[in-house]
Amino acid sequence: MYWDQSSSVPSTLRLDARVAAHLRHKDRVLDLGCGAGGLLAELAGQGRRVWGVDRNPPSLIRAREKGLAVARADLAALPFADDAFDAGVLHAVLTTLDAPELRRQVLCEARRVGCRVLCIADFLQNWDQLYYKARYEAGFDETGELGSFVVREGDQVLYTAHHFTLDELTGLLADSGYAVAFADTPTVVTRSGKRVTGVILAAVTAH
């Protein structure tokens, strides 16, 4: 699988201060899809207790070289006890999960391990851009899901990506026991360097 074999899993999405405001100083924070640990290092530098999980071995090696606590894990089956954490980070992760049920499983796992707040950054659908409009239309024919598209390198299929609508993402979080406490839709940069409409939000456990 691409995310296991890729030489790196870079992310251009940073933690927005308005989302970070929903974290408490003593929160135990789990970065789900931590990559090489750039955000983990930033949070650790603020004095927070942080852990990271990812499935990409080269990225985890680089994170460990920074002295960060990380583990290789399936985000839909985390190797942690119930209520082991207080908060979670999901940056450009949901977009890489190629099925609605898998996205829901990952969010439910985050809730199970105790993440009362999730800091999420991801990508919205950009139908106003001809490049993405064509990708969504072709992707719907291939995947059957609006907003999904197959990423290729030449003739080789790398992975399937998904861009959300805000209502879709809000509904997915609600189905997983979260309510959106803050959301904004800034222009962000994808890993391929394209500027698109993204989403940043803080979701809290619904009571």
Give the domain extent around 23.
2-124+164-205
Confidence of residue 5 (pLDDT cuts 50, 70, 90): confident
- pLDDT of residue 127 exceeding 90, the answer is yes
φ, ψ at 125 (rounded to 5°):
-70, 140
CATH number at 177 reads 3.40.50.150
198 occurs within a structural domain: yes
According to the model, what pLDDT value does residue 207 have? Answer: 62
According to the model, what pLDDT value does residue 191 have? Answer: 77
75 occurs within a structural domain: yes
Confidence of residue 206 (pLDDT cuts 50, 70, 90): confident
151 occurs within a structural domain: no
- Of the chain, the percentage scoring pLDDT greater than 90 comes to 84
191 occurs within a structural domain: yes
45 occurs within a structural domain: yes
Per-residue pLDDT of 132-189, as tens digits, reads 999 999 999 999 999 999 999 888 999 999 999 999 999 999 999 999 999 999 998 8
9 occurs within a structural domain: yes
In the chain, the number of structural domains is: 1
Per-residue pLDDT of 46-82, as tens digits, reads 889 999 999 999 999 999 999 999 999 999 999 999 9
13 occurs within a structural domain: yes
- pLDDT of residue 29 exceeding 70, the answer is yes
- For 98-116, letters b (16+ CB in 10 Å) and e give eeeeebbbbbebbbbbbbb
Q: What is the 3-state secondary structure (H, E, C) of the chain?
A: CHHHHCCCCCCCCCCCHHHHCCCCCCCEEEEECCCCCHHHHHHHHCCCEEEEEECCHHHHHHHHHCCCCEEECCCCCCCCCCCCCCEEEEECCHHHCCCHHHHHHHHHHHHHCCCCEEEEEEEECCCCCHHHHHHHHHHHHHHCCCCEEEEEECCEEEEEEECECHHHHHHHHHHCCEEEEEEECCEEECCCCCEEEEEEEEEEECC
According to the model, what pLDDT value does residue 6 have? Answer: 79
Work out the average pLDDT over 40-45: 92
According to the model, what pLDDT value does residue 190 have? Answer: 83
104 occurs within a structural domain: yes
Q: Which residues pair with 162 in a beta bridge?
A: 148
